[in-house]
Structure 1
Amino acid sequence: MKPRLATRLVRLYAGLSLYGASSALMVAAGLGPEPWNVLNQGLSELTGLSIGTVSIVVGAAVLLLWIPLRQRPGLGTVSNVFVCGLAMDATLALLPDAHALAVRVPLLAAGIVLNGVATGLYITAAFGPGPRDGLMTGLHARTGRSIRLIRTSIEVAVVATGFTLGGTVGVGTVLYALAIGPLAQFFLRRFATPASAPAARAGQIVAAGGPSEQAILQR
């Protein structure tokens, strides 16, 4: 195995594992997770399955939507479905219950920042977008609508559905929405290499809300 490929694989799986762990921190904080985990929380409440298991099922279902959109998954796409959910459940199993606000606020802040780090790692590994990213870019390609409009529409629908099912919407959800773009852009630049530059540039475009058929910024 070439060293560069080995480094990319380490970056991919470290990023995806950290993404799941950082999502778990936001869930444990109880102040509102990122939009897709509002939906996962709601479905978890409804079905009795763990939130990580629900994340895997939802990711797989979203991946099926790639078929009519003619999107092609990569290793990173399939790995995203499983690794993030497993890492989320594993982290939640290790975390004690957090009741005091003095504990919950740092958990939320750490989760948001580490989520940005994770996004930079897995995108610059350049093994393909996550399933939700592919849905976004596929709809962009098929409809001609802007990435900003499609991303916003999807996430509003996801949050509304999750909240209706019992998911938590709170200050954390809003803070994540405001912070993840700048954080992801910062860490994409930090982790970018010549081989990953096209993926990093595409991720930066989405972080800024601009249109791109190669946009791959996650969740």
Structure 2
Amino acid sequence: MKNEILKYIKLFLGFFVCSLGIVLIIRSNLGFSPWNVLHQGISKVGDITIGQASILVGILVITLDILLGEQIGSGTIFNIIFIGSFMDLILFLEVIPLSRNPLIGVPMMFMGLFILGIGCYLYISTGLGCGPRDALMVALTKKTDFSVRFIRSSIEITVLVIGYFLGGYVGVGTVITAVFTGTFIQGVFKIFDFDVKSVTHRNIKDEVILLRTYISKKAT
């Protein structure tokens, strides 16, 4: 049970680190990330909020993940809930100042991408399930012979283009994140000698069985 507790600590630490990286990118003040460009575009076309658009996209991506054979675990569900919550907390505390100068904003953005990569490594390596968007990256990496960098960059550019044509806002930072997110994540994975193809994620059913087994042992 101790190992399971440590796994979940690592999972939530990964979520927090991801959130920190995302907030750094936001506070660099250079433009929306590709996924948020898509969310904004859908919100305009569908006359819904960006948050509602994000949930809708998350559901669609999870469906695609399942069709590609990727396991959906507790980490997938917690990802949707806690990354946004941690982002709100960091933004509320205002611990990261808003950049007013591109000379500060660009380094902030690249630092945010590096930190985001570390967060992805931390929570994906637990095997408790990727977030919907990261699960798509993992599934496509497993299904093809392409690198994490190529797959992630392709996904980011694709959603960016779709979001742009739907009316989402694009800035120089949007282009930077679309091109370099995959590069930074792959670089971090190499630093930690982490092969994303080797991870077998535990699904929700496995989690329930494990919990029942633990409760049964405690009862006896």
For Structure 1 versus Structure 2, the TM-score category normalised by the shorter chain is 0.5 to 0.7
Larger radius of gyration: 2
What are the residue-to-residue correspondences of 1:139-158 with 2, within 5 Å?
A: 146-147=145-146, 151=152, 153-158=154-159
TM-score (norm. length: structure 1): 0.68
Whether 1:61 aligns to 2:60 is yes
Cα RMSD between the aligned structures? Answer: 3.5
Aligned residues of 1:23 and 1:33 also touching (Cα < 8 A)? no
Show the counterpart of 1:201: 195
> 1:66–1:134: 8 Å Cα contact kept in structure 2?
yes
Alpha-carbon distance in 1 for matches of 2:88, 2:168: 17
Matched, 1:87 2:86: yes
Counterpart-to-counterpart distance in 1, 2:115 and 2:137: 23
The within-5 A match list for 1:11-50 is 11-43=10-42, 47=47, 49=49
Which SS does the other structure have where 1:19 is aligned?
A: helix
Corresponding residue number in structure 2 for 1:195: none
Matching residue of 1:76 = 75
Superposition pairs of residues 178-217 of structure 1, within 5 angstroms: 178-188=179-189, 200-202=194-196
Rounded Cα–Cα distance in structure 2 between residues aligned with 1:45 and 1:28: 23
Instruction: Give 1:89's aligned amino acid.
Output: D
Cα distance in 2, alignment partners of residues 215 and 159 from structure 1? 29
Gaps (5+ residues) in structure 1?
193-199, 203-211
The answer to whether the 8 A contact 2:153-2:179 is kept is no
Alignment TM-score, normalising by the size of structure 2 = 0.67
Matching residue's letter, 1:49: T
C-alpha deviations, 1:123-182, integer Å up to 9, x for none? 2222222212333455677xx655467655543331012223443333323433454345
Structure 2 CA distance for partners of 1:171 and 1:104, relative to 1, 3 Å: same
* 1:63-107 CA distance string (max 9 Å, x none): 123344443201222222222222233333444654443553343
* Pair 1:135 & 2:129 matched: no
- Residue 5 of structure 2 corresponds to 6
- The secondary structure found in structure 2 opposite 1:13 is helix
Q: Does structure 1 retain, via aligned residues, the 8 Å contact 2:140–2:151?
A: yes
The equivalent of 1:159 in structure 2 is 160
User: How far does the alpha carbon of each residue in 1:4-57 deviate from its partner, in whole angstroms, 9 at most, with x for none?
Assistant: 222221111111122123213212323134422322343456656355x64344
SS in 1 for 2:195: helix
**Residues of 1 paired with 2:151 and 2:101: CA distance?**
37
Q: 1:14 to 1:43 in 2, by over 3 A?
A: farther
Structure 2 Cα separation of the partners of residues 14 and 31 of structure 1: 26
